[in-house]
Chain A
Amino acid sequence: MSDSIPVCPLPFPAGDRVLLGHGSGGRLSASLVRDVFLHAFHNPILAQLDDQAVIGVNGARLAFTTDSYVVKPLFFPGGDIGSLAVHGTVNDLAMGGARPLFLSAAFILEEGLPMETLCRVVESLRRAAADAGVQVVTGDTKVVEKGSGDGLFITTSGIGLVPDGVCLSASQARPGDRVILSGTIGDHGIAILAQREGLQFDSIVESDSAPLHTLVEAMLAAGSGIRCMRDPTRGGVSSALNEIAAQSGVGVEIDERAIPLRDDVKGACELLGLDPLYVANEGKLLAIVAPEDAENVRDAMRRHPLGAHAAVIGTITETHPTVVTMRTTVGPMRVVDMLTGDQLPRIC
C-alpha cells in the first residue's frame, strides 16, 4: 500500500461558464436563478419564485408566465414540441389556480428546417391550444444560421385570470399538510430518453404531456385548503418538493411506497441508472393541502381523467425544515436531495 499523502484533486474554480447542468432544474439551475437573474431583476413578485407571477391590475388578478421549449427529439410518443409548448405554459398558469386565457408563441427556426416539420409542429400547437381553450394572440419568428439552433425552439408566454379567493404559493405549506401527487411519475422523461437512446421496451412509454387547468378547477372546487401546487417538470418530484420545503421553511416527508410509478418506467429507470424522483413530468401536479381537505381533494382528482391515480404521498413536517426525506420501501428514512446537475447515468 502507498504511504504517500492522501491524494485528492485541488479544487478548481467552478461556475465560470454555463454548463448543461444549469438547465437541469436542480441545484445548479437554482443557483443560476438566484445569483444571476434574481440578483439583476429583484422585485417582490419575482422573489415569490412561483411558476407564475400574480399581478393585480384594476382589481383583477392576472397570472403571467413564460417558458422556452428546446426538447429533442421534436416528436416523441405522446406529444411533440408544439403541444408541449402549450401544455407547459398552461400548467404554469394553472399551478397558480389561474384560468389560462391567452398565449404568445415565438419560434426560433434553424435554416434548413423542413417546412413540413414546422407545419406539423404549428398544427399540433394550434390543436393543443384549442383543446385547452386558450388563444394564441401574438407571436414572433426568427431564423438562425444552420448550426446555430437545433431545428426549432419555441417560447410561449401565457396570461390567465386568478379567481377571487384563490391564493396559492409555494411559501404557504404548513406542518401537518398533506402532499398529494396526481399520478405516475417519470413518464415524460423516460418517453423522451427511450426515443433519444433508441431503447426498445415491450410497450411504448408515452409522455404524460397534458393541460392540467381543468383538474386544478376540480380540485379548487373540492376544497379551500389547497396551499400550493407545482408541476414537477425538469428536476422531477424531488426538485418541486425541495423548492416548496425551502420557500415555506418546512420539512417534507414522503413514502416511497405511495408514489405511483408505471412498471415500464420503473424498469427503464433501473436499466438507465436513474432515480424516477428526478425524472421530468409534463402532465402531473403536486398539491400541498390542509389535512382536513386532503381526502376530498384527492377524491375529486380521482374523478378527473388526469388524476385517476392521485395519491397522498406524504406530509409537511415541523422537523428538519427545508429538507425532504423519504421512507424507503424497506422502512428506513433517507434524504431526497435536489439534483446537482444533469442526472448522469451510472456505469455499472
Chain B
Amino acid sequence: MKYLDEYREERVAMALAARIARQVTRRWNIMEICGGQTHTLLRYGLPELLPPEVHLVHGPGCPVCVTPLEMVDKAIEIAARPGVTFVSYGDMLRVPGSRRDLLGVKADGGDVRVVYSPMDAVKFARALPSRQVVFFGIGFETTAPANAMAVWEARRQGLANFSLLVSQVMTPPAIRMLLESPDNQVDAFIAPGHVCTITGCQEYEALNREFGVPIVVGGFEPADLLEAIAMLVTQLEEGRAVLENQYVRSVRYEGNLPAQQIMRSVFEVCDRRWRGIGQIPHSGLRLREEFAAHDAEKIFGVSEPGAEESPECISTAVLLGRKRPTDCPEFARRCTPENPLGAPMVSSEGACAAYYQYRRRSAEGSTSNV
C-alpha cells in the first residue's frame, strides 16, 4: 500500500539502523514524546535494531494516560446520570476511575457511545433533543481543533443540549517541565509529528534554543522513527543542537493555520493537572467564557480532586521516562490490561500496555533505569 509499505520495509530499516550504529560513540538517551510513537517502536520491535548505546525513553504523550483521575471520575459521574448520552473516543472507556470505568457505566445501562469524530456527538445532540449529549474532549493538540469545531458547530446550530467535558493538554509545557527538572537525563527529543502538523514548529524551536537540546519532529512509521533517531544521533555526535523536521510530508513550519484559528477561537490556555505527573503550568486548554453554555464542567459542576490513589503504581516515573514499565514489580503480575492498576496499562499508546502487548516475554526480568 502506497505511503505505508515503503516506510515499513526491512531494507530501509536496516540501512537506517546501520547508519545509527556507524555514528554512535557513546550512550545517548532519546525520548519520543508521543504515545503513538511508543506504540510503533514496540509494535515493530525497533529497539532490537538499535545499538545498545541508543537508549529510548518513553515520554508522557499518551492522552489517555495523563487525563487526571478526577476528570475520569467526573466523566463517570456525568455518564451515569439519567438523561445523559455520554460520547467518547474508545480508549477512554477502560480507563479506571477511583471506583469503576465508563464500560461499567455502560454495563449498568448508561448511554455511553464510542465515536471516531466529535462531530458525531453533535449529530447525536441534534437527533436526541431531549437528552444532554456530553463529549469527553481529551487529548493533545491533535484532537483540540476537531473538539473545538464540535463546540463551534453546536453553538452555530443552537444545540443547547451539547456540551464538552474538556481535559485538553499541550505538549511543549511538558517538555519544558522535563528539561527544567534538575535530574533530567534526556539528551534529545523526537517531537510529535501529528501535534506539529497542527501547531507548527515554533514552540519546539524555542525550546531547542532555550535549552540547547536537539529536537527532531518525527513521524509514526518505523522508517520515520529510525530516521528521526539517526538525525538526533548525528546532531549529538557532532555536538550540534538544532530543530529539524523529519516528517516533512506532513509538517509545515507554520503548521495548520485554520486549525490553530479554531482552537484559539474556542479554547484558552490554562494550568492543568496531568495524571501521574501533577500540575503543569499553562499546559491545558479550557473553553472560553463565551462558550460556557457548552462547558460540561459548568453545567454539571466540578468534582473534588484528590481521590486516593495507590502508591504502588510507578506511572510518574514511567511517564517521565525515568523507569521502564518492566521496572515495576506489579508489571504483568497484578497489573495487566484486564485489570490495570494505572492508566499507562490501559491505552494501546500507554508505555505499560505496549510493553505488555509486544515485549512481555523478552522484557520479563530485565530492569533498567534511565
Contacts and interface: CB of A to CB of B under 8 A. Distances in A.
Interface in B180-230: 180-181, 194, 222-223
Contact of B356 (A5, A17, A337): A337
A28 interface: yes
Given A272-B116, A331-B14, A345-B90, 16 more contacts: A7-B275, A7-B309, A9-B309, A9-B310, A9-B313, A9-B341, A263-B1, A328-B43, A328-B44, A329-B9, A329-B10, A330-B223, A331-B45, A332-B46, A345-B91, A346-B39
A303 interface: no
Interface stretch (A19-27, A117-125, A239-247): A19-27
Interface in A298-348: 320, 323, 325, 328-335, 337, 340-341, 344-348
B97 interface: yes
A10 interface: yes
B77 to A, nearest CB: 15
Interface of B: 1, 4-5, 8-10, 12-14, 36, 39, 42-46, 48-49, 63-64, 69, 89-94, 96-100, 103-104, 106-108, 114, 116, 138-140, 142-143, 177, 180-181, 194, 222-223, 275-280, 307-317, 320, 334, 336-339, 341-343, 347-349, 356-361
Contacts of B222: 329-330
A7 B114 contact: no
Contact of A347 (B44, B63, B181): B63
Given A28-B338, A348-B194, A5 B143 contact: no
A347 B91 contact: yes
B63 A348 contact: yes
B13 A330 contact: yes
A8 interface: yes
Contacts of B280: 1
A40 interface: no
Contacts of B316: 2, 6-7
Given A8-B312, A330-B9, A334-B45, A347 B139 contact: yes
Nearest to B39: A346
A8 B89 contact: no
A4 B358 contact: no
A335 B49 contact: no
Interface of A: 1-2, 4-12, 14, 17-21, 27-28, 31, 197, 263, 266-267, 270, 272-273, 320, 323, 325, 328-335, 337, 340-341, 344-348
A10 B308 contact: yes
Contact of A8 (B14, B143, B309): B309
B278 A4 contact: yes
A2 B360 CA distance: 30
A341 B346 CA distance: 11
Given A9-B341, A11-B339, A266 B1 contact: yes
B98 A347 contact: no
B222 to A, nearest CB: 5
Query: Per DSSP, are chain B's interface residues mostly helix, strand or loop, or mixed?
Result: mixed
Contacts of A7: 69, 275-276, 278, 309, 313, 315-316
A10 B336 CA distance: 14
A2 to B, nearest CB: 2
A344 B275 contact: no
| A-B CB proximity, top 8 nearest | A2-B278, A8-B313, A332-B45, A344-B90, A345-B90, A330-B13, A8-B342, A347-B89
Contacts of A11: 96, 310, 334, 339, 341
Contacts of A28: 338
B276 A18 contact: no
Contact of B114 (A9, A335, A345): A345
5 contacts: A6-B276, A337-B357, A337-B358, A344-B90, A348-B139
Given A335-B358, A346-B90, A10 B98 contact: yes
B7 to A, nearest CB: 9
B103 A6 contact: no
A14 B341 CA distance: 11
A18 B342 CA distance: 22
- Most chain B CB within 10 A, of A10, A325, A333, is at A10
Nearest to B356: A337
Nearest to A342: B90
A34 to B, nearest CB: 13
Given A19-B103, A197-B116, A329-B44, A323 B361 contact: yes
A9 B335 CA distance: 11
A277 B24 CA distance: 36
- Most chain B CB within 10 A, of A20, A197, A347, is at A347
A133 B94 CA distance: 44
Contact of A330 (B46, B181, B343): B46
B95 to A, nearest CB: 8
Contacts of B107: 17-20
Contacts of A263: 1
